[in-house]
Structure formats: structure tokens, C-alpha cells
Amino acid sequence: MKTPEFSAGPVVRRAGQLYDNPEKKVEKIRLTIDGREIEADKGMNVLEAAHAAGIEIPSLCYLRHINEIGSCRVCLVEVEIKGARVLQASCAFPATEGLVVHTSSARVRRVRKTMVELLLSDHHRECTTCIRNLNCELQNIADNLGIRNIKYTGEMKQLPIHNKNSFIVRDYNKCIKCRRCEAICSKVQEVNVYSAINRGYDTVIAPAFMQDLSQVACITCGQCVIACPTASLAEKECIDSVWEALEDPDKYVIVQTAPSIQVTLGELFGYEVGTVVTGKLVAALRRLGFYKVFSTDFTADLTIMEEAHELLERLERGDKLPLLSSCSPGWVKFAEHFYPEYLENLSTCKSPHEMFGALTKTYFAGKQGLDPEKIVVVAIMPCTAKKFEASRLEMGTGKFKDVDWVITTRELARMIRQAGIDFRDLPDEDYDTPMGIASGAGAIFGSTGGVIEAAVRTAYYLTSGREMDVLDYEELRGFSGLKEAWVELKGRRIKVAIAHGTGNARKLMDRLRAGEQFDYAEIMACPGGCVGGGGQPIFGTREHKEISLDYRHNRADALDRIDYSKKLRRAHENPAVKKIYEEFLGRPLSDMSKKLLHTYFTPRGESPGFDFGGEKGRFAGHVEENLHPVT
Amino acid sequence: MKIENIGDLKALKEKHYPLIKQRLGHRNGLGLTQIMVCSGSSCVSTESQAILRELERELDEHGLNENVRVMKTGCLGFCQHGPVVMVHPGEIFYCRVKPEDVKELVQTHLLEGRLVERMLYQEDLTGKRIPSINDIHFFKAQERIVLQNCGVINPEDIEEYIARDGYHTLADAILNKRPGEIIDTISKSGLRGRGGAGFPTGKKWEMTAAQDVTPKYVVCNADEGDPGAFMDRSILEGDPHSVLEAMAIAAYCIGANQGYIYVRAEYPVAVERLEIAIGQARETGLLGKGLLGTLFNFDIELRLGAGAFVCGEETALLHSIMGARGEPRPRPPYPAQEGVWGKPTLINNVETYANIPIILRRGWEWYQGYGTATTKGTKVFSLAGKIKNTGLIEVPMGTSLRTIVFDIGGGIPGGKKFKAIQTGGPSGGCIPEKFLDRPIDYESLKEIGSIMGSGGMIVMSEDNCMVDLARFYLEFTQDESCGRCTPCRVGTKRLLEILKRITEGHGEMEDLDILERLSLDIRDASLCGLGQTAPNPVLSTLSYFRDEYIAHVRNKTCPAGVCKGLFSYRVDEEKCIACGLCAKACAAGAISGAPKQPYRIDPAKCVKCAACVAKCPKEAIVKGSDKEAKINENAGIFSGTGSQESRAAL
């Protein structure tokens, strides 16, 4: 890739490489699937080999490289072993040279149908009112298999729906025990919220003691929601509250969109993954009736200014290093649960959308002469953790919440459909000013590596007065998703590191604990950063039948393209940012800044719901405190 | 004392052999009496340890300690007649001994030199008292190879095991043989895994030995979960060193230095014996660092299972050893490739290991002399259910079920008719009478819809309802399903629901087809052996006892009178003497009557607890089909002989 001349741009700042190393030479093998001889990579399983050859084997529990446990039995195929045709789970059976496979024999189709019928016999089939209607893998497979009635009827689970929190709803009655939530939470995120409880038919995949997610060490990242094939895990919707505000003539409803929304929303309207739809996004929001359509990229630029100064200040004083980024609320909660001794290392900056909310109800209200009480701030976020973040009591000024409602990319798409807007037919429109002006640096906040790159570039400029050269990251000791680089700042070589996915964050933090030195680290809770966020589009339909999460590369590439295409590429050059410091904040880290744009953190313990005092310990039924009430 | 060579082992054997020899029937004039008290779990639960203490006290009191030795021994398998005490010389077999009998035993047998007639085994047919174990038919008909030490040696004394040639094969292996030679012998012997699937043991060893990855592990599966089966428990309790020795040999062959025995926590006696055995083996240098003075290290750790049936499945067991939830995973990779801690692991069942030392000692040619064309050696079975001699037996592979049930097992008690035998535990099939003469091995059992399993056998008589039985086993497998794969988690639940419906009289003929279809799919699609075999009881009963299903569905009757929803109790008026005992016994208040008139049972109130049946002195309370009762109810009569007419009216 040729880097444009004016850019000190990203070289290795890609969401991908989390699962794949494209450079690796792969040995090829040949096998026969459904009478066709096909070529496949050595090391693939039968399902992947078939997929690569254009033969789709339906599956439910399979998630490439994350969950390959062969437990739903939907992907069963016949494999010829020593002359006998044996049923094997194709997701867990290695494709080997000369293997003969039948993916659609009468026996396979019959057993597959039975498996899906059995799953459906214990699944609350309320498709028409379900949040995953038309985007449900189970529904899709049932339709493909032509299931018209279910022979096996009997007891159906009637378990309480867990929704006493602001971010994720767990409906056990729709769970098909694919264990994808458990796998992604324990293997990728290493948070280990879910595990199997009970046996046989009574098995549930749940947090310890089947507690609500708000009562355990859940970081609210929503990766489980992305992984769930049905609506057993879903975002806590708040579309109706947003509609209510929009319809209230007394309210000024101001919307902001996170950087990554412009590269993912299109997927929900039939665009290719990685299509940039910024203009249509803005147009749609205007048509929905928002008073102002702003961009969180603007406060991302502001965050860069604050954080760069914070970095320089800490480097100068030599304390609270490394500085750890804090713009990913999932990571913040992760740190609060698992690395409380490092909370003072976290940047005190609020995340950009919270800064945005605080400024809207102060700076913008003052400028426009609006009563802040009448302002409703809605944030369109790629994230379920932002829903939790907005409910923190400290994220507000006096009686106001900084951000009133957080809705995910998926919820926004639903609102657009509800309003009857033909998204593909919309013209391209521009964000409102001043809080819609953003640099390319703000945009790349949405994928891993973006925050640190933007902040270091600004810090470099602030100290040297020159623009920085290309930053080269080296993969940290073979751990994908964990990178490091050296940068020269104020005549000093500083070491920066990047981790995305809290599993990688854990590795980085454990190295810190072990005494390794860093100066600055960017950590994002979701693999790939916000482009892989828990509020992003879920692929489960015929059009987007993915067997892995690799599509995150494409979204990150799209953010890079936005960055490259902008004239304005550095936060400190953003005229709106300069203006807000002149008119309102004074300077970075001023008292006003600290009051509005900075926050504090709370240690939460690894097992918040459990009291280990006394001999045996007991469940204490802990409930999260210091939160706005859940509605 | 550390044992460093075969010479040391031989010396120990010399020292103890006279005592052992006497127990095996040699009257070698030791001038010593040995009393062996069975200390297997079954006899322990019927107070054998109190007998032991009582014996020691009595001997003390009479000053007999010099000439009489009392010790624990393992299970002889005749558990129906426990607690068992054997006295040598003479191999006198005293059964059903109580602690209070000890005084008489010491007085009569030891002091007066006479047999205690009343405590000897009484033969069922002839009523004759039989003093010597060698004359008891139950034992005569068996071939005890694996169980050769159970009941003969003291399992808590390593030297007694050595006196039975124990650890000689280990020493020979490590000091004189190459791993390949040993594996070759195992392969040629034809030994197959005794855990149930019957995989060739030699091949498994070979596969694990061939792996380049280190470290490797040796695992013993002692998670015996089949209800009523206790083959492995008896071996561990009666001859723990045979398993340790075999594991050490296996470790030498595949190149492992660490072993695990995964044993159920519900086997406290076995766990204790294993702990003692491992301790003694370490002390003598037969486990631990530098076995027999060589550079070969091997040690064994116990892992206690928490009682999940599925942990007997090898991949689930491996997960459990590593501290994870006991859930199976798809194979490949096989444990030989990726087992404990992701490393090559050899995993065999207790009984498989117990076969190893003896095969190596006596040669594969000798071992091949037992069994059938495909299945060599002997098999230990536990007999349970409607059979006279419940207990543990060992017979050559290829023995017929008839020999096992009617010859060794003594047939069905109470003159009842044989209906079926279930082999292979809760997921085995029910075999009807027509197959009783088949010689049994892994293949022949599979052909008739059952499995060898680990060796549980449950006999059913005419009093058993086969539909209810299938329901019972499905309840077990559904409870014990790990919940991972769809067919086992949901499929067995649906099977169970259909079976419940049928036993409650709500079945439809269509249900039988659904049962069969779903059973076949569950068998085909399940992830592990538990799910794949769970439908066996349903499929085999559907195939061999379909008429019983039809009776439940079509006629709403349970021919065996077991299914509570399908029969009612009524009073036979001819027999009733109006004593009123039944009414007094009835907690539900369902029985009414007046003096000199037959009593009546109200089927609407009756809970079928059978308390009245037990109290009635005239056997006047009988079962009738529910349909009959309903007709009677409609006709305004609760019970009585009028049912004949009602039926005619239908």
C-alpha cells in the first residue's frame, strides 16, 4: 500500500491479523466433497474446505478459530472412513488428503433436520416480535431446511429474562447452547463471564449462579451479542425513548455518530462490508428529525488534544506511567474489575461521546442560547459498553447526564426502517457545524491503533513543532492483536503499545505487572477496536453468512480511506477544536476541561457478586451502585 | 526397603509365599490359621469391619494371636451372601456373618475344631451346606484371571502382591525388555479395552508410543458410573497394585513419567486402598524417581471425580482431570494425540490394566486360549436385578448369557419367569430370552442391539415392565447428559417425555414411530458414547417387546402391572374377609367398607402405594387394568367381579 505523501499515516494499524496471518505459505490438499474434487488449505476443517469451494454446510455453534466444538450437530456430514459412511461434525473434522465427504445425502439431511427440530422444540419461537427477526441464524437454517412442523414437542423452558441492566438482555429461553458467547468471552476477551451450569436438558450457559450481567464482572463489551446466533443475547434497546424525545416539541434532540458508524451502517442496507456511507448517515439522521447532526469524531479530536497533553505532563513528571487510554468503556470496566492497581494510569479523559455530551449541554447550549434541560443528547455508538458508560453517575454534570441515550448501529438501522426512509436513495449530506468538523485522526479512533497514532502525532507536533514520520509497529512477540513501537518525544525515546480485545489487554497488563516498562498504551476492549464493537451489525443472514469475524479488516480499511481522503488529518489543526479552546475551555487540562472532560474510576473487584469473607464465602447478591436508574 | 532388581522381588515372594499358598488350598503344615475378612465395599457396608475388630478382640482374649492371623481381603463377588469370612486351611467359606457370630466362630471353629454349620453356604437346590469355596457352584463355573488376587491377598500389603508374582513383570519390562516388545505382546494377546468400546489395547499403546510430543501421560479410567456395576471398584479394592504395575509398564512403553487415576469420590474404600498402595509402591521404589534403580521415573496421582456419569467418557474425563467441566469433545484428535494438558495420553480402564501383568507373565499365547474369535480373555460382570446370586463374576468371553443367568446367577428368584437381561449399563439394550444361548463378545452383543459396556448386567423378570424400564434408563441418561450436544440434551428429553406419556396411558400409536425415528437419529448424531448409546434401551425394547408398548398405547394397560397410570387396585370379593386392615393401612382414605361386606377401593382416591396389598392377610387386593376400573366407575361400582360383564358389554 502506498502511503500518500502528506501523510504521517498508519502503516500497521489494521483491525485484522487477529486471526490470520496472510503472509503464511499454506500447503494445499485435495479432497472430494459431494463428488467434486476440491482443493483446500491444509489445516482447514471440512466445513471451511467446503465453504472455500462454494459448498455451504449449515452450522450454528461454529465460529472460526473461536468455537469449534462440534456441539450443535447441525453441520454433520457423512465422511467415508474405512469404507463406512460415518456422521461427523464438519466443523471439528479435519480436511485431509483424499477424504471423501457427502454434505447433502438423505441421511445427512434427515439428521440435520432432526437436530434443528430439536433445537426449535426448546426455543421460544416468537420470530415476528423478536429482535433478531430476519437476522437470526436459527431462523435462517430452519427456513433453508424447510421445517414446517416440529414433530418433537414437550417441555419448553420458562426462565426469567435478565434485563436489569442498561446494556445487554439475556433471554435463556432462546438459547440454543451453541456456547459461542462462552467461547468469545473466555477465549478472546478472557473475561470468563459465561459457563455451562446444570446438566442435560436443564443446562444453561450463564454467569455464575445465573446472575444478571450487571452483578458479575461483565465488561459490557457485547462481544457475546455479536457471537449469538439467536436473540438469546441482545442489546438493551432504547429506540422508543429516542422517538419519544424526537416527538417532544420542547426538546432539542442532538445526535452524534461515532467514527465507525459511517463504515458499518451501510451493511444493514445491503452495502458491501467496508462501504463508507457518511453522507447518507447524516441525511438519514436529519430525516429522523434530529435538531443537529454532529460527529463524535469532533470530540475524538478533542480527546486527542487532552490526552496528548496528559501524556506530555506525565512524561515530564515521570509518574503514573504508562498512560493507558480510556476511550473504550469496555476496557475501562475490565481494568476496574481485574487491574484496579492500574486505575491511576488510565487517562482521566472521558470517552469522546461523553465529552461531546458534556460540551453540548454547556458550550453549545450557551452558544445557541438553549436551556440545557431541554437538550437531549443521543449517541449512535458501535457499542453496548457505551450504554453502560452513559449510565455512570460520574458521567454527568449536576442533574444532567452527559449523554441521555446511547443507541447502537443496529438500533439506528431499525429507526431508519421504522421511519420508512429509503436509505440507499438518500443524498449525501454534511454534518452540522461546529461540532461536526473533524480531522482524519478522529475517524481512525474507530479501529485499533488509531487513538495512539493520533495522540502521539499531536504530542510530537506539540513538542517539536514538526510533523512526525511514519510509525512502524512490530508485532509483540508473536501475539496478534498486541503491538509495540518506539517514538521519540522531547528527545526521549518512549515505548508505546497497542492491544485490542481484552484477552490481549490481559497479556499486556500482565507484562506490566511483571515489571516491563511502557510509556503509553492504547487498549480497546473489542477485537479490531470499534469496528468490531458489540453494537455493530451482526451477520447471520443469507447475504452475510460469515463463519468468522474476519470482516472487521474491511471496516477498518474503510476508516483508513476516510482518513486519507481528508485534507484535515491532525487533531491540533481542527479549527473547531481550536475555537472551542479559545472560546470556552481555555487550554487543554484547564480547570474547565478537567471539570467537563475528565472523570475518575472505581475498583470493582474480580467477583463483585461474591463475598469471600468467612469460611465458605457466600453469594452476596451485589448490585452495581452509582448508576443512573435502569429504564 | 528399596527394591532394585528381580532378586529382591523373589526374596519377598519367598518370604510370603507359604501363607498365600495355604490360602490357595495347600495344606502345607504351617501350624497357622488365617482368617480373611472380606473388606470390599459391599461387605464393609454390612459391617465386615466390625467383624474384623471383634475377631481381633476374641483372639486376644483367647490368646490365639500366635497361631491365628486375621486380615482384610478383597471382594470374592458373592455379595448376596456377605459379609464373607474365609478360614484357611480348608478354604472354609462362611457367609452372612454378623459381628455377634464371631464368638461362636472362634469357639467352635478355632477352639473346638468343628465347622459352624449354620454359617456355611447353603445350596439352593439341595439345601446342602457346603464348607469349601471350591465346591460352591457359583465359583466353580467361573474363570478368575483378573480377579485372581481378590479375596486371596491383603490389598493393603504390597508384599503380598509381590508374593503373587506382582511387580515381577514390571521389573522384567524395565530391566530386560524394549517397549516395542511389550506392546507387541499386548497386541498379539488380542486384549481389547474393557471400558466398553473394545478398542484393541495394543494398538492404543502403539499409537501413543508413536507420538513425538513430550511429556506424555498415562491415565486410568476408574470412573465407573453404571448403576449397579462395580467391577472396577472390586479390582481397586482387592488388588490395587495390579493397576499400578500395569500403569507403570504402560508408562515405560509409551514414554510417560506421570500417571493419573481418575476415580469416583463415591468409592472411598477404593480411594483409601489406592492411596495406601501408591504410598507403599513409592516407599519400595516401584513408583517415583528411578524405578528399580534405573533412570526411569514414574509417579501416579489420584484425581477424584465428582460423580458425573459422562466423566467415564474419555475426553470428558480428560477435561475433568484438568479441572474443567466434564464434557466430551469430538475426536480426532484422539487422546493418544492430544490428551491431558494437550499432550499424548494413554487412557485405559481399570480392568484393562488389570489384565496386563498377567498377560505379560503368562504370555499372549496363553491369553489367546480364552475367548472368542474376535474377543480374547475373560470379562468381569456384575449381576444385579431379578437374579438369585447378585454379585461379581468373571467368565471367559464367549460364555452364554444362559450360563451367566441360570448357572452362575442361579436363575430368577421366587419361581418367576425370565423376561430380559440388560447388558452394558443404562445405555445397553435389553436382550430377550431367544438370544440367551449366544456366546457373548463385543460383536455379538452389538448385533442384537446391546453393548458390552463395562460389564453391568441387570436381569428382568415377568414383573418388569419394559416400557417403564426404558423410561427409567432414559431418565438416567437425560439426567447425566452433559448438555453439550443437541441430540443428547434435547433429544433424550423428548424421548423421555414420549415414554412418560405412554406409561401414563396418554400414548398414541404414532408415538412409537417417533420414538424409533428419534432414537435412530440420536444414535447417529450424538457427540459422544453417552448420547450414541442412550437410545439403546428404547430401540431394543421397541424391537423385542413391542407388544408391551402396544398394550400401553392401544389397550391402556400395563401387562406387568408396573405403570401406575395404567392399573388400579381392586378387592377380590371372593377372598375378602372384611377384616378392615386394608382400610386402616390406607393413608389416602380410599378404602371403605362395612362389617361382613367386601371392602371397596375408590380408584379416584387411590395413590397406588400398595400399603393395603402388604397388609391384606388373604391376598384379596389385586391389580386390574385402569380401563376396567374406569368402566366400573362409570357403572357406579368401585370394584368387584362385575368387570367381566363390563368387558363383555364393551
- Under an 8 A CB cutoff, do B525 and A199 touch? no
Q: Which residues between 184 and 223 in chain B have a beta carbon less than 8 angstroms from any beta carbon of chain A? A: none
**Using the beta-carbon criterion (under 8 Å), do B483 and A73 form an inter-chain contact?**
no
Among all residues of A, which ones are annotated catalytic?
A: 307, 310, 327, 347, 386, 389, 394, 530
Which segments of chain B belong to CATH 3.40.50.11540? 158-366
For residue B556, what is its C-alpha cell? 391402556
C-beta atoms surrounding A240 within 10 Å: 9
Is-contact A66 A81, C-beta < 8 A?
no
Q: Is B104 on the interface with A (CB under 8 A)?
A: no
Chain A CA closest to residue B521: A111
> In chain A, what residues touch B521 (CB-CB under 8 Å)?
110-111, 114-115
Give yes or no for a contact between B498 and B456, defined as CB atoms under 8 angstroms apart: no
| Residue B130 scores a pLDDT above 50 | yes
Nearest-CA residue of chain A relative to B325? Answer: A196
Q: Which residue has the cell 456430514?
A: A77
Give the model's confidence band at A630: pLDDT under 50 very low, under 70 low, under 90 confident, else very high: low
A603 has a pLDDT exceeding 50:
yes
- The class that CATH gives domain B32-135 is alpha beta
| Interchain contact, A69 vs B308, CB within 8 Å | no
Give the whole-angstrom CA distance, residue B99 versus residue A450.
82
Does the pLDDT of residue A17 top 50, yes or no? no
According to CATH, where is 1.20.1440.230 located in chain B? 466-553
ipTM of the complex: 0.90
Asked if A200 reaches chain B (Cβ–Cβ under 8 Å), the answer is: yes
Q: How confident is the model at residue B608 (pLDDT cuts 50, 70, 90)?
A: confident
What is the model's pLDDT at position A441? Answer: 84
CA distance B362 to B377: 12
CB proximity B114 to A under 8 Å: no
Pick the range with the lowest mean pLDDT from A115-124, B279-288, B502-511, B612-621: B612-621
DSSP summary character for residue A241: H
Confidence band for A471, pLDDT divided at 50, 70 and 90: low
Q: What is the pLDDT of residue A450?
A: 84
Q: In whole angstroms, give the CA distance from residue B587 to residue B522.
A: 43
Give the number of beta-carbon pairs within 8 Å between A and B.
111
Whether B327 contacts chain A with CB within 8 A = yes
Task: Using CB atoms, pick whichever of A88, A152, A203 lies closest to residue B489.
Answer: A203
Q: Do A114 and B521 touch (CB under 8 A)?
A: yes
Residues 6+ apart with CB under 8 A from A393: A626, A627, A628
Phi and psi dihedrals of B92, rounded to 5?
A: -75, 130
pTM over 0.95: no
Q: Across chain B, what does the average pLDDT equal?
A: 91
pLDDT value of residue B425: 86
B637 confidence band (pLDDT: 50, 70, 90): very low
Q: Residue A58, preceding bond cis, omega within 30 degrees?
A: no
Decide if B34 contacts B19 (C-beta within 8 A): yes
B526 and A73: CB-CB below 8 Å? yes
Interchain contact A43–B (C-beta under 8 A): no
Question: Which of A107, A118, A174, A180 best probes binding to B when mutated, by most B CB atoms within 10 angstroms?
Answer: A118
- For A377-412, the pLDDT digits (tens) are 999 999 999 999 999 988 987 778 999 999 999 999
Whether B484 and chain A come into contact, CB under 8 Å, resolves to yes
- Judge whether A115 and B487 are in contact, CB under 8 Å: yes
Query: Among A87, A177, A203, whose Cβ lies nearest the Cβ of B525?
Result: A87
In angstroms, the separation between the Cα of residue A69 and the nearest Cα of chain B is: 7
Contact: B490, A119; criterion CB under 8 Å: yes
Mean pLDDT of A357-375: 94
Among A92, A118, A203, whose Cβ lies nearest the Cβ of B330? A92
Q: Which residues of B touch A88 (CB under 8 A)?
A: 330
- Residues with Cβ within 8 Å of A125's Cβ and at least 6 positions away in sequence, in order, are none
Task: Please tell me the class of the B158-366 domain.
Answer: alpha beta
Identify the band that residue B570 occupies on the pLDDT scale cut at 50, 70 and 90.
confident
State whether A118 and B490 contact (CB < 8 Å). Answer: yes
Q: Residue A512 corresponds to which cell in the numbers above? A: 506490566
Q: Do B486 and A121 touch (CB under 8 A)?
A: no
Q: Which residue has the higher pLDDT, B649 or B438?
A: B438
Sign of CA dihedral B49, B53, B55, B56: positive
For the segment A219-237, what is each residue's pLDDT rounded down to a tens digit? 999 999 999 999 999 999 9
Q: What is the pLDDT of residues A87-96, one digit of tens each?
A: 999 999 999 9
Chain B residues with beta carbon closer than 8 angstroms to that of A119: 486, 490
Rounded CA separation A270/B595 (Å): 87
Average pLDDT (B357-361) is 97
> Radius of gyration (Cα) for chain A, nearest Å?
25
Which region holds residue B411: left if phi is over 0, alpha if psi is between -120 and 50, else beta? left
Torsion A66-A72-A78-A79 (CA) sign? positive
Measure A92 CA to nearest chain B CA, in Å.
Answer: 7
Architecture per CATH, B466-553: Up-down Bundle (1.20)
Inform me whether the pLDDT recorded for B55 exceeds 60.
Answer: yes
Contact A114 B487 (CB under 8 A): yes
- Predicted confidence at residue A3, as pLDDT, reads 30
Contacts of A74 in chain B (CB under 8 A): 486
**Any CB–CB contact under 8 A between B28 and chain A?**
no
The confidence score (pLDDT) of residue B443 equals: 94
CB-CB contact of B249 with B169 (8 Å): yes
| Cβ-based contacts of A93 with chain B (< 8 Å) | 330, 332
Domain architecture of chain A: domains with CATH: 28-117 (3.10.20.740), 239-597 (3.40.50.1780)
Q: What does the pLDDT look like over A299-330, one tens digit per residue? A: 999 999 999 999 999 999 988 999 999 999 99
b/e per residue B553-592 (b: at least 16 CB within 10 A):
beebbbbbbbbbbbbbbbbbbeebebbebbbebbeeebbe
Question: Given the DSSP bridges, would you call strands A474-475 and A405-408 parallel, antiparallel or unpaired?
Answer: unpaired
Model confidence at B640: pLDDT above 50 = no
CA gap B81, B383 in Å, rounded: 13
Please report the pLDDT score of residue A318 as a whole number: 87
How close does chain B come to A88, measured CA to CA in Å?
8
Q: Is the pLDDT of residue A593 over 90?
A: yes
Taking the domain B564-649, which CATH number applies? 3.30.70.20
In this prediction, residue A12 carries a pLDDT of: 37
Once rounded to an integer, what is the mean pLDDT over residues B103-126?
A: 92
- Mutation to test the B interface, candidates A71, A90, A141, most B Cβ within 10 Å: A71
Looking only at the bridges linking them, the beta strands covering A195-197 and A168-170 are: unpaired
> Where does chain B hold its CATH 3.30.70.20 domain(s)?
564-649
Chain A positions touching B203 (Cβ under 8 A) are: none
**Candidates B331, B521, B522, B526, partner chain A, best to mutate (most A CBs within 10 A):** B521
Give CA angle at A561 (A557, A565), nearest 5°.
170
Q: Rounded to 5 degrees, what are φ and ψ at A26? A: -115, 135
Pick the CATH number of B378-461 from 3.30.1300.10, 3.10.20.600, 3.90.1150.10, 3.40.1410.10: 3.10.20.600
